[in-house]
Amino acid sequence: MPSFPVLVLNSGSSSIKFSVYETGGEERTRLLEGEAEGIGTDQGKFHINDANGAKHIEQAQPLPTLATAFALVADALKSGKFPVPQAIGHRMVAGGPTVVENQRITPALIDEMERYTAFAPLHTPIAIFIMRESLRLFPGLPNFVCLDTWFHRTLPATARELPIPQEYSEIGVRRYGAHGISYESIVYQLQPNVPEKLVVAHLGNGCSISAIRNGVCIDTSMGLTPTGGLISGTRTGDIDPGVLLFILRKIAKTTQNASEAADKLETAVAKQAGLLGVSGVSNDMRDLRAAIAQDNVRARLAVDQFVYTIRKWIGAYVAVLDGLDMLVFTGGIGVYSSETRAEICSGLEALGIVLDSERNQTSKYDQARGAAIISAVNSPAIVRVIPPAEDLMIVNHVLRLLAN
Ligand code: ADP
């Protein structure tokens, strides 16, 4: 089978992450991973490593714009030093009510998704820009969009619809969820033994949790946008709508128009809130743990609230699933912060969750050992740590769509 390199593009607010997979038949081998980071600054960095971590490119240079950063990525991948991609998969948080399926990207599709930028305002403008640049700089290559919302397309109406006037539901205001490619990858990694009643907590910079029955998502914590649900690094999560109105009215006194006021409110609830807002220290769990070690009470409160909210949500999803077979932690905090996992699981015996504290401590993820089980042998529910494999899922979607 001839090799067929697939490029995966996953852009964030200040970085473009990418990987190249060698594919053919059942083969999926990651050849390269790279990142252009520090976009919008003169402290940019660019690297490409191979799958063994060996550095092929490592350079520091100003990356004033997203365009300069993506041109750097495209030039490197077209230089002939690496396998030239034959197809490209783009991670997209939300495509809006009309773009639900993963599919081949056309200029018209990009225009359609752009109409719903408000559904993932921190992510969509960047992803849209990269898609347009990708069509331009890799002419002729098939590009595909892979949506985080795709995994949540199965939500029943009770979980999907929001308690708002119908005129808004009719224009697509509902629960879409996010982190879907991560959830999908957890179900994929659990195959062929996907438990019936599964709760997955994706705890990264953004945090969410999903209730999954027999591999099918039946509820998820993020809502119309990734700002809803759990407390995240810089986002409020679910909050009394009255709080938004109060803040909006306060902001409106010093702004010129509604759009400016909405932008300021968005900054407050999506970029300055969450762990960062409460602690006043950082949005990063490692910094917060360091501050707690120095007896910083605001950092302690932020982490306590974070843990408390997740515990409440686990309880809710055990109710939704009518029991629990397995709880999986994923995302940077879920995979690496044993302290946070212990705090979340402590006292959840009534829900069938009993951690083995030693396994939890030592479960620092190790590729060779695979996903670690951190529950006690007598725990009614199994608790596992599984890193997400989002790029692999995107590659699988690209190959499936190409085959169709
Ligand atoms: P993203 O959502 O941007 O993909 P990650 O999944 O990498 O982010 O998660 C980032 C979070 O994971 C940060 O809060 C970071 O502090 C936390 N994290 C990463 N490594 C560790 C670690 N060793 N201990 C505690 N927290 C960690």
Q: Is 283 within a domain?
A: yes
Specify whether 94 is located in the same domain as 215: no
| Cα separation, 168 vs 305, whole angstroms | 31
Looking at residue 361, what is its pLDDT? 86
Q: What is the dihedral angle through the alpha carbons of 392, 71, 67, 21, rounded to the nearest 10 degrees?
A: 0
* Other residues' Cβ atoms within 10 Å of the Cβ of residue 337: 20
- Nearest residue to 302 (alpha-carbon basis) of 243, 204, 236: 236
Q: Ligand 1: does its nearest atom lie under 6 Å from the Cβ of 81?
A: no
Q: Is 29 within a domain?
A: yes
Q: Ligand 1: does its nearest atom lie under 6 Å from the Cβ of 285?
A: yes
Residue type, 337: S
Q: Is 177 within a domain?
A: no
Specify whether 382 is located in the same domain as 240: yes
- Tokens read off for 35: 């990142």
Specify whether 107 is located in the same domain as 225: no
Specify whether 35 is located in the same domain as 94: yes
- CATH number of the domain enclosing 201: 3.30.420.40
Handedness of CA 274, 372, 177, 92 (dihedral sign): positive
- Nearest residue to 157 (alpha-carbon basis) of 167, 169, 168: 169
Beta bridge pairs of residue 45? 37, 60
Cis peptide leading into residue 192 (ω within 30°): yes
Give residue 387 CA to ligand 1 midpoint distance, Å.
11
Q: Is 52 within a domain?
A: yes
Q: Is 134 within a domain?
A: yes
Q: Is 170 within a domain?
A: no
Specify whether 126 is located in the same domain as 234: no
Specify whether 205 is located in the same domain as 84: no
| Cα separation, 238 vs 241, whole angstroms | 9
**Is 148 exposed, middle or buried (CB count within 10 Å of its CB: 0-12, 13-18, 19+)?**
buried
Specify whether 270 is located in the same domain as 335: yes
pLDDT in tens, the chain (404 residues): 568 999 999 987 789 999 999 998 888 999 999 999 999 999 999 999 998 889 999 999 999 999 999 999 999 999 999 999 999 999 999 999 999 999 999 999 999 999 999 999 889 999 999 999 999 999 999 999 999 999 999 999 999 999 999 999 999 999 999 999 999 999 999 999 999 999 999 999 999 999 999 999 999 999 999 999 999 999 999 999 999 999 999 999 999 999 999 999 999 999 999 999 999 999 999 999 999 999 999 999 999 999 999 999 999 999 999 999 999 999 999 999 999 999 999 999 999 999 999 899 876 554 444 458 999 999 999 999 999 999 999 999 999 999 98
What one-character-per-residue DSSP string does 36-55 give? Answer: EESTTBS--EEEEEETT--E
Residues 6 or more apart whose Cβ sits within 8 Å of residue 394: 8, 10, 89, 90, 91, 146, 181
Looking at residue 364, what is its pLDDT? 58
| Maximal CA-CA distance, the chain | 65
Specify whether 123 is located in the same domain as 215: no
Give residue 80 CA to ligand 1 midpoint distance, Å.
34
Tell me if 212 sits within 8 A of 183, measured CB to CB.
yes
Helices vs strands, H then E, count in the chain: 15, 14
- Tokens read off for 221: 């914590």
3-state class (DSSP) for residue 239: coil
Looking at residue 53, what is its pLDDT? 87
3-state class (DSSP) for residue 281: coil
Residues 6 or more apart whose Cβ sits within 8 Å of residue 163: none
Q: Ligand 1: does its nearest atom lie under 6 Å from the Cβ of 205?
A: yes
| Residue 356 lies in domain | 192-390
Give residue 334 CA to ligand 1 midpoint distance, Å.
8
Tell me if 178 sits within 8 A of 120, measured CB to CB.
yes
Residues forming the active site? 148
DSSP code of residue 249: H
Give residue 204 CA to ligand 1 midpoint distance, Å.
5
| Angle (nearest 5°) at CA 244 between 275 and 258 | 120
Specify whether 150 is located in the same domain as 241: no
Give residue 27 CA to ligand 1 midpoint distance, Å.
29
Counting from 1 in the atom list of ligand 1, the atom nearest the Cα of 289 is 25
Looking at residue 371, what is its pLDDT? 54
| Domain tally, the chain | 2
Q: Is 176 within a domain?
A: no
* Other residues' Cβ atoms within 10 Å of the Cβ of residue 100: 14
- Nearest residue to 209 (alpha-carbon basis) of 311, 117, 112, 64: 311
Q: Ligand 1: does its nearest atom lie under 6 Å from the Cβ of 336?
A: yes
| Cα separation, 129 vs 225, whole angstroms | 19
Specify whether 109 is located in the same domain as 203: no
Specify whether 140 is located in the same domain as 222: no
Q: Ligand 1: does its nearest atom lie under 6 Å from the Cβ of 332?
A: yes
Tell me if 107 sits within 8 A of 135, measured CB to CB.
yes
Residue type, 140: G
Looking at residue 12, what is its pLDDT? 77
Residue located via tokens 């990858």: 185
Tell me if 241 sits within 8 A of 199, measured CB to CB.
no
| Cα separation, 144 vs 90, whole angstroms | 6
Q: Is 132 within a domain?
A: yes
Tell me if 331 sits within 8 A of 203, measured CB to CB.
yes
Tell me if 27 sits within 8 A of 1, measured CB to CB.
yes
Specify whether 219 is located in the same domain as 347: yes
Counting from 1 in the atom list of ligand 1, the atom nearest the Cα of 202 is 6
**Which mutation among 91, 205, 278 tests ligand 1's pocket best, with the greatest number of atoms within 8 A of CB?**
205
Q: Ligand 1: does its nearest atom lie under 6 Å from the Cβ of 206?
A: yes
Tell me if 342 sits within 8 A of 307, measured CB to CB.
no
